[in-house]
Structure 1
Amino acid sequence: MARVSQEHLDARRRQILQGAARCFARDGFHGTSMQDVLKEVGLSAGAVYRYFTGKDDLIAAIAGEAVGGVRRAFEEAARTTPPPTPDVLIGRVTRALFTGGPFGLDPQAYAGLIVQVWSETLRSERLGTTLGEAYGGLRAAWAELVEAYRANGMLRADPPADRVARTLIATAQGFIVQLALFGDVEPEVLEDGLRGLMSMEMQRAS
Structure 2
Amino acid sequence: MARVSQEHLDARRRQILDGAARCFARNGFHATSMQDVLREVDLSAGAVYRYFGGKEELIAAIVTEALDDVQGSFEEAALQRPPEPPDVLIAGVMERVLAGRGMWHGKDGFARLLIQVWTETLRNDKLAALMREGYGRVREAWIKVVEAYQEAGLMRADIPASDVARTMIAAAQGFAAQQALFGEVPIEVLRNGLRGLMSMGEQKIS
Query: Residue by residue, what CA displacement relative to the aligned partner does 1:159-187 show, whole Å, maximum 9, x if unpaired?
Result: 11110110011110111101111123121
Equivalence for 1:144: 144
TM-score (structure 2 length as normaliser): 0.92
Query: CA separation in 2, counterparts of 1:135 and 1:44?
Result: 34
Query: CA separation in 2, counterparts of 1:177 and 1:136?
Result: 20
Shift, 1:103, TM fit: 5.2
Q: Do the aligned partners of residues 84 and 100 (structure 1) sit closer, same or farther apart at CA in structure 2, a change above 3 Å counting?
A: closer
SS of alignment partner, residue 200 of structure 2: helix
- Superposed CA RMSD in Å reads 1.7
1:29-44 alignment runs, 5 A limit: 29-44=29-44
Equivalence for 1:18: 18
Shift, 1:80, TM fit: 2.2
Q: Do the aligned partners of residues 176 and 86 (structure 1) sit closer, same or farther apart at CA in structure 2, a change above 3 Å counting?
A: same
Query: CA separation in 1, counterparts of 2:100 and 2:142?
Result: 24
SS of alignment partner, residue 110 of structure 1: helix
Shift, 1:2, TM fit: 1.2
CA contact (8 A) 1:23 1:40 kept: yes
Equivalence for 1:45: 45
Query: CA separation in 1, counterparts of 2:66 and 2:140?
Result: 19
Q: Do the aligned partners of residues 124 and 103 (structure 1) sit closer, same or farther apart at CA in structure 2, a change above 3 Å counting?
A: farther
Query: Residue by residue, what CA displacement relative to the aligned partner does 1:8-51 show, whole Å, maximum 9, x if unpaired?
Result: 11111111111111111111100011111111111111111111
Equivalence for 2:161: 161
Aligned residues: percent identity?
Answer: 61
CA contact (8 A) 1:77 1:92 kept: no
1:166-205 alignment runs, 5 A limit: 166-201=166-201, 204=203
Query: CA separation in 2, counterparts of 1:141 and 1:60?
Result: 21
Residues matched between the structures, number: 204
1:41-120 alignment runs, 5 A limit: 41-101=41-101, 104-120=104-120
Range moving further from structure 2, 121-130 or 192-201 = 121-130
Q: Do the aligned partners of residues 117 and 141 (structure 1) sit closer, same or farther apart at CA in structure 2, a change above 3 Å counting?
A: same
Query: Residue by residue, what CA displacement relative to the aligned partner does 1:55-79 show, whole Å, maximum 9, x if unpaired?
Result: 1111111111122222222322333
CA contact (8 A) 1:115 1:180 kept: yes
CA contact (8 A) 1:20 1:40 kept: yes
Query: CA separation in 1, counterparts of 2:3 and 2:102?
Result: 27
SS of alignment partner, residue 98 of structure 1: helix
Q: Do the aligned partners of residues 30 and 44 (structure 1) sit closer, same or farther apart at CA in structure 2, a change above 3 Å counting?
A: same
TM-score (structure 1 length as normaliser): 0.92
